[in-house]
A and B are shown apart, each in its own frame.
Chain A
């Protein structure tokens, strides 16, 4: 009789293949566990917003990737995965409490006066073509930093994970890129 394998056994087999470097098995595994991880995160941390839940899910996936060698293929996968989720949730909870202790909610306030002279030229800059050209002209490292941090709005940690650059290097690259862009746009504006 042809029976499909039990889900956990199937996941364990996928992980065993992923440990041998099988990319397809790994992607299949990650896609299969993501809804479960999301469900676990939502169930245990009701206070997190939707974007926070997704942050924790991604953190769990990065952790699974980083410590996949600790999985013993002879054992079921879910207890191993649940332990990672539990501990990453605890980390997220600690972060949440820390931020809550140091941040204070305020009403939305106008950051500038309504009158046009009070607003700087940078804030009203509207030539998107010139901006795109200036970004393209940046050195590769700076361009990547701007694209990830400013355009795609990734966190420093996520950008660091993607590029392999340290957080400090990303900050420096972004700072230099912004300075270069400011000079380039000012020059194009004057022309």
Chain B
């Protein structure tokens, strides 16, 4: 087919395409959804157990705040990465956030070691959290994937990885709310491992589910 014919064809098929809101606005919309999910989980915990499962120490609050901020930054970076012409280094801020989250958990591990003489790595397995984070991540992440698919899949692997980090950061908070963790290093290994594994799978398979939209006749 000649390029001129293609242009005529596209011209005939053009319909109204309202510009997408800015990534910041779309991030805010998704954050409302993700925070609502956490509120629903917290309310259900209160309804079932008359309390949430954790004691809110200052370090715990720092860890959850960092996870929250990392999730929001990762969602913003993912949504910005599907807009052509935005900065190529959108991943830097979420990466810093994830690193700070790891450091805060390592710091928690040092505190645990001082208090109880052990890091507790072998004392507590955390498979329920792996399951709950994966399910929670799907619930939180589904609308984000839908939003991303309306954009341009310029870097599908990176975008999918950032989306996984965003969803699982919130799912991590949900898992920390619903299940007490005696040792910070358990959280780092099991929650961090889940985030890393899911993000890696998403990065590898992103090209399959973030594709250039097909043209309809």
Where the two chains meet, the residues of A that have a C-beta atom closer than 8 Å to any C-beta of B are 18-24, 26-27, 30-31, 34, 54, 57-58, 61-63, 65-73, 75, 79-84, 87, 152, 154, 158, 160-165
Contacts and interface: CB of A to CB of B under 8 A. Distances in A.
Contacts of A21: 14-17
A80 B82 CA distance: 11
B82 A63 contact: no
B213 A66 contact: yes
Contact of A26 (B10, B83, B85): B10
A24 B85 CA distance: 25
A182 to B, nearest CB: 26
B181 interface: no
B214 A70 contact: no
B216 A164 contact: yes
Contacts of A81: 84
B18 A19 contact: yes
Given A26-B14, A69-B17, A61 B152 contact: no
B215 A65 contact: yes
Contact of A30 (B7, B16, B151, B154): B7
10 contacts: A21-B17, A27-B7, A34-B7, A68-B17, A69-B17, A71-B19, A73-B19, A83-B85, A164-B215, A165-B217
A67 B211 CA distance: 11
Contacts of B22: 72
A55 to B, nearest CB: 10
Contacts of B152: 63, 66-67, 70, 84, 87
Contacts of A26: 10-11, 14
Given A66-B213, A67-B213, A70-B83, A23 B12 contact: yes
Contacts of A72: 19, 22, 83
Contact of A19 (B6, B16, B151, B214): B16
The secondary-structure label for the interface of chain B is loop
Given A61-B3, A63-B212, A27 B8 contact: yes
Residue among B6, B8, B16 having the largest count of chain A Cβ atoms under 10 Å: B6
Contact of B155 (A63, A68, A87): A87
Contacts of B217: 162-165
B20 interface: yes
Nearest to A166: B214
Residue among B8, B15, B215, B217 having the largest count of chain A Cβ atoms under 10 Å: B215
B179 interface: no
B32 interface: no
A70 B84 contact: yes
Contacts of B14: 18, 21-23, 26, 65
B10 A69 contact: no
Contacts of B15: 21
Contact of B150 (A24, A69, A154): A69
B84 A84 contact: yes
Contacts of B12: 23
Contacts of A80: 84-85
Contacts of A152: 1
B24 to A, nearest CB: 12
A83 B155 CA distance: 11
Nearest to A64: B10
A66 B151 CA distance: 9
Interface in B149-198: 150-152, 154-155
Contact of A31 (B7, B154, B216): B7
